[in-house]
Chain A
Amino acid sequence: MSAIHTTLWHEEPEPGDAFAARRAHCRGYDVYGELVGRATWAEMLLLLWRGERPSPGDARLLEALAVALANPGPRDPSVHAAMCGGVGGSPAAASLMAALGVGAGRLGGGQEVALALQAWQSCGLDVSAWRRATAQPAPEHAGIWPKAEHAPGFDPHGRQCAGTVRQALAALAALSTGSHLPWLLAERDALEEAAGLPLSMTGVAAAALADLRLSPEQGEMLWLLLRLPGAAAHALEQHLAFKRFPFFEHEIEEHGAMETEPVYVPA
């Protein structure tokens, strides 16, 4: 009853101290005796997530994806949330929790990436399947997340595919060891036409994560993790700088739609 079961981590105790590890193995590899100083961060992530030492190509792709996702920039809601922690002097963990809490959702968040990865699983490299999926999304069961309001991987308010998204797609597709990124690069126009929306960074990331053979759940975790460096940096930059941080205008609409709450109607 009190044992933890794992396939990814094994520690041998020091003689005479059951709580001090003499050696730690990750998926069989000696972490502190062999991996530290030899394996890269990207290789370690893929070893943890997928269980095997990745090919140099896969590691290079994840390394490049990590750079692409490292900083969504201060306009991104998750980074904005982290800066809200920094500006008031909240703990470091609170700023990162804010970035995670806001960056987890179905607009530009971890959930959108997971849905986009599910779309890759169901539509594959078939434009007509993407056309059907975006025209008639699968019904969602009641759950803790708001219902998706746009095709995952696309920007619901975009007028054109942003240059940064196009650059990321081209750079990552050039490093791809799979089929999703190159296909997305070739078929972007057709997919954008099917969705009626321009491709977003979540769509590029999902294709890269699919090329790395990661599941929607694994991809969601990586998306959340890989965007934290920028949130941290911006939170640090705004530390107690509240006099220069926007407080924005306020307009109270007391006769708006919130006066009468929508009645929940079960589907």
Chain B
Amino acid sequence: MSRPDPRTEHIGRVRSRVGGLRADRRVRYRGRDLHAELKGVDWLDLYAFGITGRRFPAPQLRLMHALWVHTSYPDARIWNNRVAALAGSSRSNGNLGMAAALAVSEAHIYGRGNEVQAVAFFIRARRSLDHGATLEDCLGEEMQRHGRIAGYGRPLLEGDERIAPTMAVAASLGLDQGRHVQLAFDIDRQFAGLGKPLRMNYGGLVSAFGADLGFSPEQFALFMFPSFLAGMPPVYLDARSRPEGTLLPVPCETVLYEGPPPRAW
């Protein structure tokens, strides 16, 4: 085990390809001057640039804004939002509540876990179709790989009210005909034709847009990280404004115990 240790040359210093504060007090951000070339840019523009290293044209940025706006539900019942609201009710602080709620947003059946698989699937399926595979081949292979088609079906509801307004925004910007979005609707029609309760969900649609916008799955997960955030401070503050401990109080009798009967230790 005499191979060189790559850690040795990094002891005591951070090497950065993306920037930071220089000795001359100029801040570099992905090769640009943050306070000159990027002065006053739209935050989402900067955020996407930080993730991908490329600037997106204005119509795409407007669509990307819409992807976040349309899924900002101030609804404390939704599991990730519920964490933010419970933080308010328990008189925790807002930043902790938001951070915890965003961490929970990386779920398997919604949020990042759903989207990462969906983006990867759309990119892979589009490529396979271009090489002569059939849609059935692609769906079968994805079922074998993950046991589901991420982006289709919804845990508690059927259909998704976010799809129509998002497609309307995309159409107004000339961005509704992307190859991955078209593929996403082809699959939706296929499931609908088979009578399966697997209509496209919002995660499926945004992931198809993510693929059309050139995001990798990992980049798209980072881009979508704040997507639920705007719904969270309102539910935190609403819970904060009510008497402490009054969000979803659970009396003993509403916990239905199904374990072994009492026994001695």
Contacts and interface: CB of A to CB of B under 8 A. Distances in A.
Interface stretch (A58-66, A144-152, A180-188, A209-217): A144-152
A18 B4 CA distance: 12
A242 B87 contact: no
Given A77-B90, A87-B79, A89-B107, A107 B113 contact: no
B92 interface: yes
B92 A93 contact: no
B90 A107 contact: yes
Interface string A103-121: 1111111010000000000
11 contacts: A81-B83, A88-B104, A90-B107, A100-B96, A103-B90, A105-B87, A145-B91, A146-B93, A148-B91, A242-B156, A258-B234
Contacts of B240: 146
B106 A91 contact: yes
Contact of A104 (B77, B93, B107, B247): B93
B113 to A, nearest CB: 6
A198 to B, nearest CB: 14
A101 B87 contact: yes
Interface string B12-34: 11000000000000000000000
Interface in A60-85: 73-75, 77-78, 80-81, 84-85
A123 interface: no
Interface residues of A, number: 52
Contacts of B164: none
A102 B109 contact: no
Residue with the greatest number of chain B CB neighbours at <10 A, chosen from A2, A89, A157: A89
B57 interface: no
A108 B90 contact: yes
A84 B80 contact: yes
B96 A104 contact: yes
Most A-side CB within 10 Å, residue of B7, B241, B245: B245
B217 interface: no
Given A19-B7, A90-B108, A98-B101, A242 B155 contact: yes
Nearest to A143: B93
B135 interface: no
Given A85-B104, A88-B110, A247-B77, A77 B86 contact: yes
